[in-house]
């Protein structure tokens, strides 16, 4: 079978004149597109989300939205996309059926750790207008700041205008965090550069949403069947997507341009961001940890379990929604439960459970603190926190081992083993980690006692047994 590339795509287009509902191809002239976007964190999520928005803009005839896709460390995807001329196939699966799309927005790829000069030069290139980022929670540190600041310094030295730098990571106030990081690094090297960044560049907060599981060989086989071409970079996603971004662009006209491709441009993203971080990501983390210990491989398997389905509904309705301001919360919740149940996604619980020590503070703690402060119950999140502590034993309820991927993994697993069987000792040791729980929660007797209560129950009857007790309570 021929490999996907510009040449084989051109043949496919010639062989299938006219548009097909089940297979969408990039009909625009990819040779003419300029690299207008430098994307840091080339991975499945970017390719099924922002890159498809840029693809839609290119398809409308706006040639400014080609992407340089930058892997931060890993070379595999960047190097697999290069011989495919940046092309890849996306399978979009929903209750209405499946369709495929070959996306054309990625013009070039490279790897920041291997080719930093190429990234810096691209940030400083005249055609570049945006930098987008999906680098994950753990990457917001000095390495990222140095790369961006070098690029912005070169851009300023070249006498060019500013950029829109849009963080698309699941962080509260992601744009503000990115701005702070860049300005602090710029201040250290050159105060004038910091002034230039403040005056010329914007860092809009944004909320991005689409469930994009890690790509598998099944996606590759399905894509080959649909297109007749072998695509080593095929991936799958759901039909739902949302990108809500604050009206804060280096080029103010971009608001209308993005809106024309289905992006929601708002004055304040916070209500959307908080609802998504809590209800989608917060539920995801709880589901993933339960699924890992209960040996349920995917999110769809988890929500097919009646007690977990009840749990997620209760977590959202009883504990999270009262704190949130998004206008359509009940409909948003119901849509989320349907999205989680999508059987085509096969979204692995262990993928979501990775880096939980960084995700928990962003996804659960706002809710826990707000509710404790007003004397309200936090039972579902105390339960989920106990499940996390149980999960750190790295074996499921049948005693089968699994791997834990987390920057604090070794330390957390050592603590879990050290206090194995001792719920109070485990909770005390785990809550003493301020990067996960902050400083106030370990001293809160209500929180400590409820987490300990649920960890004891889990130790006695397993996660499934404890969950049915939570439901019956
Ligand atoms: C997930 C997210 O892996 C995870 O932690 O919760 O990747 C989630 O699928 C996306 O944020 C959905 O928009």
CB neighbours (10 Å) of residue 365? 18
**Residue 340 to residue 183: CA distance in whole angstroms:** 38
What is the side-by-side strand order in the sheet with 106-111?
Answer: 106-111, 66-71, 35-40, 130-133, 164-167
Distant-in-sequence, close-in-space partners of 298: CB < 8 Å, separation ≥ 6: 291, 345, 346, 347, 348, 349
Which of 209, 283, 284 is the pocket-test mutation for ligand 1 (most atoms within 8 Å of CB)?
284
In this prediction, what percent of the chain has a pLDDT beyond 70? 100
Give residue 49 CA to ligand 1 midpoint distance, Å.
12
Beta strands in 230-323 (DSSP E): 235-238, 242-246, 264-266
**Residue 290 to residue 384: CA distance in whole angstroms:** 8
Give the model's confidence band at 34: pLDDT under 50 very low, under 70 low, under 90 confident, else very high.
very high
For position 291, what pLDDT does the model report? 98
For position 21, what pLDDT does the model report? 77
Atom of ligand 1 nearest to the CA of 281: 6
Please tell me the residue having the least CA distance from ligand 1 atom 4: 352
Atom of ligand 1 nearest to the CA of 49: 13
pLDDT over 80 (residue 91): yes
pLDDT over 90 (residue 211): yes
Give residue 211 CA to ligand 1 midpoint distance, Å.
6
Q: For 235-275, what is each residue's pLDDT tens digit? A: 999 999 999 999 999 999 999 999 999 999 999 999 999 99
Which of 43, 49, 211, 298 is the pocket-test mutation for ligand 1 (most atoms within 8 Å of CB)?
211
For position 11, what pLDDT does the model report? 96
For position 168, what pLDDT does the model report? 98
Of 325, 461, 339, 303, nearest to 397 (Cα)? 461
**Residue 47 to residue 250: CA distance in whole angstroms:** 23
Average pLDDT, the chain: 97
Give the model's confidence band at 103: pLDDT under 50 very low, under 70 low, under 90 confident, else very high.
very high
DSSP assignment of 95-164 equals TTEEEEEEE--EEEEEETTT-HHHHHHHHTSTT--EEEE---GGG-SHHHHHHHHHHHHHHHHTT----E
Please tell me the residue having the least CA distance from ligand 1 atom 8: 211
For position 16, what pLDDT does the model report? 81
Please tell me the residue having the least CA distance from ligand 1 atom 3: 352
Q: For 294-326, what is each residue's pLDDT tens digit? A: 999 999 999 999 999 999 999 999 999 999 999
Please tell me the residue having the least CA distance from ligand 1 atom 11: 209
The mean pLDDT of 388-395, rounded to a whole number, is 98
Phi, psi (degrees; rounded to nearest 5) at 99: -140, 165
Please tell me the residue having the least CA distance from ligand 1 atom 9: 211
In this prediction, what percent of the chain has a pLDDT beyond 90? 97
Beta strand 106-111 with 66-71 is parallel
Give residue 139 CA to ligand 1 midpoint distance, Å.
16
Atom of ligand 1 nearest to the CA of 284: 6
Beta bridge partners of 70: 40, 110
The mean pLDDT of 151-165, rounded to a whole number, is 98
Give the model's confidence band at 181: pLDDT under 50 very low, under 70 low, under 90 confident, else very high.
very high
Give residue 146 CA to ligand 1 midpoint distance, Å.
27
pLDDT over 90 (residue 96): no
pLDDT over 80 (residue 20): no
**Residue 175 to residue 167: CA distance in whole angstroms:** 6
Distant-in-sequence, close-in-space partners of 7: CB < 8 Å, separation ≥ 6: none
The mean pLDDT of 398-422, rounded to a whole number, is 98
DSSP assignment of 51-108 equals HHHHHHHHHTT-GGGEEEEEESS--HHHHHHGGGTT-EEEEEEETTEEEEEEE--EEE
Alpha-carbon distance values, 231 to 90, 104, 111, 271, 365 (Å): 10, 13, 20, 39, 41
Give residue 276 CA to ligand 1 midpoint distance, Å.
10
The tokens describing 115, both together, are 């080719």
Give residue 205 CA to ligand 1 midpoint distance, Å.
17
pLDDT over 80 (residue 18): no
Q: For 104-139, what is each residue's pLDDT tens digit? A: 999 999 999 999 999 999 999 999 999 999 999 999
Q: For 40-76, what is each residue's pLDDT tens digit? A: 999 999 999 999 999 999 999 999 999 999 999 999 9
ipTM over 0.95: yes
Of 407, 405, 406, 430, nearest to 417 (Cα)? 430
pLDDT over 90 (residue 95): no
Which of 133, 170, 274 is the pocket-test mutation for ligand 1 (most atoms within 8 Å of CB)?
170
Give residue 50 CA to ligand 1 midpoint distance, Å.
15
List all residues whose CB is within 6 A of at least one atom of ligand 1. Answer: 170, 209-211, 280-281, 284, 351-352, 359
């Amino acid at each position: 079978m021929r490999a996907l590339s510009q040449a084989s795509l051109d043949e496919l287009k010639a062989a299938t004149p006219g548009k097909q509902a089940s297979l969408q191809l990039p009909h625009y002239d990819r040779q003419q597109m300029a690299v207008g976007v430098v994307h840091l964190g080339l991975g499945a999520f970017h390719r099924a989300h922002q890159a498809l928005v840029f693809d839609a803009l290119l398809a409308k005839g706006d040639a400014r939205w080609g992407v340089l896709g930058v892997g931060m460390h890993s070379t595999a995807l960047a190097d697999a996309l290069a011989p495919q001329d940046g092309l890849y196939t996306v399978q979009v699966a929903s209750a209405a059926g499946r369709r495929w799309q070959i996306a054309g927005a990625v013009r070039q790829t490279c790897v920041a750790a291997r080719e930093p000069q190429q990234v810096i030069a691209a940030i400083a290139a005249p055609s570049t207008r945006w930098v987008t980022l999906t680098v994950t929670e753990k990457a917001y540190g000095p390495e990222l700041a140095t790369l961006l600041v070098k690029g912005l310094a070169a851009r300023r030295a070249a006498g060019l205008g500013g950029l829109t730098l849009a963080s698309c990571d699941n962080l509260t106030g992601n744009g503000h965090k990115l701005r702070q990081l860049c300005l602090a690094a710029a201040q250290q090297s050159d105060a004038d550069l910091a002034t230039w960044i403040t005056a010329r560049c914007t860092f809009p907060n944004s909320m991005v949403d689409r469930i994009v599981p890690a790509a598998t060989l099944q996606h590759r086989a399905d894509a080959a069947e649909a297109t007749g071409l072998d695509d080593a970079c095929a991936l799958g996603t759901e039909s739902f997507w949302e990108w809500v971004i604050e009206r804060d662009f280096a080029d103010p006209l971009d608001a209308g341009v993005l809106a024309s491709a289905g992006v929601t441009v708002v004055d304040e993203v916070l209500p959307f961001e908080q609802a998504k971080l809590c209800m989608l990501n917060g539920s995801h983390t709880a589901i993933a940890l339960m699924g890992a210990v209960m040996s349920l491989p995917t999110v769809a398997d988890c929500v097919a379990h009646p007690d977990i389905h009840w749990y997620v509904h209760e977590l959202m309705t009883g504990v999270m929604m009262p704190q949130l301001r998004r206008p359509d919360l009940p409909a948003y919740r119901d849509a989320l439960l349907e999205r989680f149940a999508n059987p085509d996604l096969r979204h692995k619980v262990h993928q979501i459970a990775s880096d939980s020590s960084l995700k928990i503070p962003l996804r659960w703690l706002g809710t826990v603190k707000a509710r404790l402060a007003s004397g309200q119950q936090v039972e579902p999140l105390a339960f989920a926190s106990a499940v996390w502590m149980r999960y750190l034993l790295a074996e499921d309820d049948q005693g089968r081992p699994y791997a834990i991927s987390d920057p604090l993994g070794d330390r957390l697993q050592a603590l879990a083993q050290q206090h194995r069987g001792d719920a109070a000792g485990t909770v005390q040791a785990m809550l003493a980690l301020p990067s996960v729980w902050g400083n106030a929660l370990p001293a809160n007797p209500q929180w400590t006692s409820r987490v300990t209560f649920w960890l004891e129950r889990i130790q006695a009857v397993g996660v499934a047994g404890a969950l049915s007790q939570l439901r019956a309570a």
